[in-house]
């Protein structure tokens, strides 16, 4: 039976309003779809916290993440996308329709773009939240260039920590990589490159207890550990200009437990951003991808909206 728009609240529901979701909203609305964006926070997602977005093509000398997010939001609304400030509590599919359960009822559509992003795992130490965006970062390619020739601490022992330390070592000869255990859990090849890098000082059996400063990061409190990761009591303070934390990230996929995911829990899609579930598309940090940047998320959002429009046309019997 062909899709009947009169029986749904929207043609396309987008869950999440970061760069991927906002771009998808714009492209979906421009494709003459009834687009409904559901976001529990302000539009922009993690981009709101970017102090200066200087590497987005065409934006020079740069904008704050807030300004960039506001522009995306206005564009999407200008093309007709509707926004609701609601947390999506559930997502179910019956027949050809998805139903999103929210605090004030339900909303239905034949297609959904999941753009819920991922959350960085934190160290949960004093100063981490206080200095986020002022020396504390979770993305070397985003913020590393602000700290050229500065003293940079990197926290972590996996592939991401080693990769990002390598990147930062091209910007500064004062990169200190600390890991709570006595050896890396990264791939051997990555670990060896770090250990051989003259710009990286590796400190095993070391944990960060606090990040201090006034208006920005100024120092860190470190503690030596035993091989079992328990503190030995040797605590010291050391000057620092930046702290890059790579304790892992957690994709926000709880709404779609049945969608195919990779080993790290990210949603697997094809090149059209289509997931393993019919009518469900994914874009941005929630999706399995080799590179995560604002410009990548925006591109994926555009592709997801285009693919969703084609999917809806097929339900109407209007595909071409």
User: Pick the catalytic residue: 51, 71, 96, 139?
Assistant: 139
The DSSP result for 249-317, as a single string, is EEE--TT-TTS-B-TTSPBP--TT-B-SSTTEEE-GGGB--S---HHHHHHHHHHHHHHHHHHHHHHHT
55 within a domain of the structure (yes/no)? yes
State how far the Cα of 282 lies from the Cα of 275, in Å rounded to an integer.
7
Q: How many residues does the chain have?
A: 320
pLDDT at 227: 56
For 153, the domain range is 136-245
Residues 211 and 265 placed together within one structural domain of the fold: no
Separation in Å, CA 278 to CA 112, 272, 314: 10, 12, 12
Residues 172 and 238 placed together within one structural domain of the fold: yes
Q: Which residues of the chain have pLDDT under 70?
A: 1-2, 49, 51, 227-232, 319-320
Residues 234 and 265 placed together within one structural domain of the fold: no
Is 229 one of the annotated active-site residues of the chain?
Answer: no
pLDDT at 291: 83
129 within a domain of the structure (yes/no)? no
Residues 255 and 238 placed together within one structural domain of the fold: no
128 within a domain of the structure (yes/no)? no
Which of 196, 223, 245 terminates a domain? The answer is: 245
For the record, the structure tokens of 197 come out as: 């890098």
Residues 39 and 85 placed together within one structural domain of the fold: yes
Reported as a single tens digit per residue, the pLDDT across 233-289 is 789 999 999 999 998 888 999 999 999 999 989 999 999 999 999 999 999 999 999
For the record, the structure tokens of 225 come out as: 């550990």
130 within a domain of the structure (yes/no)? no
124 within a domain of the structure (yes/no)? no
Separation in Å, CA 14 to CA 22, 85, 90, 100, 103: 9, 12, 13, 10, 16
273 within a domain of the structure (yes/no)? yes
pTM for the full predicted model: 0.76
Which of 245, 274, 296 terminates a domain? The answer is: 245
State how far the Cα of 14 lies from the Cα of 37, in Å rounded to an integer.
5
pLDDT at 251: 93
Residues 153 and 235 placed together within one structural domain of the fold: yes
User: What CATH number is given to the structural domain containing 201?
Assistant: 3.50.50.60
Which of 245, 270, 295 terminates a domain? The answer is: 245
Residues 29 and 47 placed together within one structural domain of the fold: yes
Is 139 one of the annotated active-site residues of the chain?
Answer: yes
**Cis geometry, peptide bond prior to residue 61 (ω within 30 degrees of 0):** yes
User: Pick the catalytic residue: 11, 143, 241, 285?
Assistant: 143
152 within a domain of the structure (yes/no)? yes
User: Pick the catalytic residue: 142, 162, 163, 285?
Assistant: 142
Residues 287 and 197 placed together within one structural domain of the fold: no
Residues 55 and 83 placed together within one structural domain of the fold: yes
State how far the Cα of 21 lies from the Cα of 252, in Å rounded to an integer.
14
126 within a domain of the structure (yes/no)? no
> Phi/psi zone of residue 135: left (φ > 0), alpha (ψ -120 to 50 degrees), beta?
left
Is 143 one of the annotated active-site residues of the chain?
Answer: yes
Residues 172 and 254 placed together within one structural domain of the fold: no
Structural domain total, the chain: 2
Torsion of CA 286, 289, 293, 298, to 10 degrees: -70
Residues 141 and 98 placed together within one structural domain of the fold: no
CA-closest candidate to residue 300, choices 270, 266, 278, 273:
273
Please answer whether residues 248 and 121 qualify as being in contact, where contact means their C-beta atoms are separated by less than 8 angstroms: yes
Residues 19 and 97 placed together within one structural domain of the fold: yes
């Amino acid at each position: 039976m062909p899709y009947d728009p009169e029986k749904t609240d929207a043609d396309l529901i987008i869950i999440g309003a970061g760069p991927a979701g906002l771009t998808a909203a714009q492209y979906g609305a421009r494709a003459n779809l009834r687009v409904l964006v559901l976001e529990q926070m302000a539009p922009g997602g993690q981009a709101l916290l970017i102090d200066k977005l200087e590497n987005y093509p065409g934006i020079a000398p740069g904008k704050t993440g807030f300004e960039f997010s506001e522009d995306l939001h206005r564009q999407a609304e200008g093309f007709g996308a509707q926004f609701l400030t609601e947390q999506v509590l559930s997502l179910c599919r019956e027949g050809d329709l998805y139903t999103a359960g929210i605090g004030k009822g339900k909303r239905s559509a034949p297609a959904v773009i999941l753009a819920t992003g991922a959350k960085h795992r934190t160290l949960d130490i004093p100063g981490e939240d206080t200095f986020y965006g002022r020396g504390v970062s979770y993305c070397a390619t985003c913020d590393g260039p602000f700290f050229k020739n500065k003293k940079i601490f990197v926290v972590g022992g996996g592939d991401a920590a080693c990769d990002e330390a390598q990147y930062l070592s091209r910007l500064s000869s004062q990169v200190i990589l600390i890991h709570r255990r006595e050896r890396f859990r990264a791939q051997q090849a990555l670990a060896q490159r770090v250990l051989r890098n003259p710009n990286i000082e590796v400190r095993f059996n070391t944990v960060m207890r606090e990040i201090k400063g006034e208006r920005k990061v100024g120092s860190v409190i470190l503690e030596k550990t035993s091989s079992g990761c328990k503190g030995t009591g040797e605590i010291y303070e050391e000057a620092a200009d930046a702290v890059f934390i790579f304790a892992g990230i957690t994709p926000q996929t709880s709404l779609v437990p049945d969608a195919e995911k990779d080993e790290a829990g990210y949603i697997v899609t094809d090149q059209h951003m289509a997931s393993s579930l019919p009518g469900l598309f994914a874009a941005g940090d929630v999706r399995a991808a080799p590179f995560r940047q604002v410009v990548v998320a925006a591109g994926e959002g555009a592709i997801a909206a285009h693919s969703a429009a084609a999917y809806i046309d097929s339900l109407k019997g209007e595909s071409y």
